[in-house]
Amino acid sequence: MWMKFLDLAAGALKHGALAAGVALLVVPPASANDSSASLDVDGLHFTYNPNIEVESEALSLSLDEVLVGYHFRNTSDHDISTLVAFPLPVMYIGEDGNYVLPDGRDPVNFIDFQVTVDGKPVKPSAEAKAARFGVDVTDVLRKYGIPLTMLDKSDTATIALHEKLDDLPEDARNELERYGVIDWTTSFGANDKPLATTHWETYITFYWFQTFPAKRTIEVRHSYHPVPRYFFFSDDDLTSDMRPKYCFDDAFTKATRAMLKQMEEAKPDFAAYLQGRELRYVLTTAGNWHGPIGKFSLRIVKPSPEALVSLCANGLKRTSPTTFELTETDYSPGEDLNVLFLLPFSPDDAQRKAVSRTIRGRDLLPHPAAATPSASPSNP
């Protein structure tokens, strides 16, 4: 899977890298530099309703997939119908951001957002809009066949799209410049050829209608492929502001320095760096139901046994060479999750792909009823 850097400025994922939030708009009852950018998305959330409780939430985070499962209970004696919305964070389409995405993703549903309710697939609708200075510029972009995300279905098509913008006729340029969405004055290519530079924000929301039956519990699951931030990690970062952000402990620091030493010994002519991946999940904006979460469980999945991981999460325990878990009862999130993964550089990414293949298709959501882990929760 070839990874490409796209000129999209950073947005935000919620619940710890591309994590997005679901908003439920309640309808009256009838009787939700050198680094790349990340999208920080969260889980389902909706306008406050005193009759909807979250009996449990199970969250599984990995670099390849985010899985979230909820048990919602309607405690009232009438059905509650809602418009459930899952808005992605704003995407700033411009020269300053770099999202790292595999080739071939859908231009709108590039996170492959999927939903099931009580085990049955739900096909959400999608709405995409573009804005410049708060003004809707969707129609003017579509008029010239410009995708609102500047993504296309293949790398070849994306390159062709950029070349098309570089060579737009004068009347098209004039209109796009008048709206301020593209200019040809800030970037230049070979022989000083003016190149198109984009300037707009894109808003994407997935949505569907959901009924919460009276006095019943339903299970809602959603999944998506996250968009983590990519960066280089050096020894200096161990004592930087990353230390409190990811809660580095002595075990993680020791393991990181050992991995850096291996990199230095393998390639003495190069500076020692590791591959840093940051996955952010916003937990704190999702409290739009009645009361705390009855039972909350978290699972962190490393891409390989050799990879290192660090985050601020009291009670996290190692349950296998690649997984860490915690469970809480009557849980009210106090802070968001910032998860740091460190991987050594290698000739290719085959090892991570192999691990991804072995875990894909399994039920990676944590199970609070499982036996309590007995291993020590050292961060690596």
Mean local confidence (pLDDT), 347-361: 40
Q: What is the mean pLDDT of the chain?
A: 78
- How far apart CA 344 and CA 275 sit, in angstroms, is 6
Q: What is the pLDDT of residues 147-166, one digit of tens each?
A: 998 887 777 888 888 899 99
Tell me whether residue 209 is in a domain: yes
Tell me whether residue 146 is in a domain: yes
Identify the residue whose tokens are 């799209």.
161
Q: What CATH number should be reported for the domain holding residue 190?
A: 2.60.40.3680
Domain containing 337 equals: 3-359
- Does the predicted model carry a pTM greater than 0.85? no
φ and ψ at residue 133, rounded to 5 degrees: 55, 35
Burial class (CB in 10 A: 0-12, 13-18, 19+), 197: middle
Total structural domains within the chain: 1
Rg (the chain; Cα; Å): 22
- How far apart CA 59 and CA 67 sit, in angstroms, is 6
Q: Check whether 20 has a pLDDT greater than 60.
A: no
- Torsion angle of the four alpha carbons 101, 110, 13, 239, in this order, in degrees rounded to the nearest 10: -10
Residue 355 vs residue 243, higher pLDDT: 243
- DSSP letters spanning 270-300: S---EEEEEEEE--TT---SSSSEEEEEEEE
| 372: DSSP letter | P
Tell me whether residue 369 is in a domain: no
Tell me whether residue 374 is in a domain: no
Q: What is the pLDDT of residues 307-326, one digit of tens each?
A: 999 999 999 999 999 999 99
pLDDT value of residue 267 = 79
Tell me whether residue 366 is in a domain: no
Tell me whether residue 236 is in a domain: yes
Residue 356 vs residue 332, higher pLDDT: 332
Tell me whether residue 237 is in a domain: yes
Which residues contact residue 352 at a Cβ distance below 8 angstroms, ignoring those fewer than 6 apart?
Answer: 63, 303, 304, 343
Mean local confidence (pLDDT), 187-201: 87
Mean local confidence (pLDDT), 216-241: 91
Tell me whether residue 367 is in a domain: no
pLDDT value of residue 271 = 76
Closest to 43 in 3D by CA, of 92, 115, 101, 120 = 115
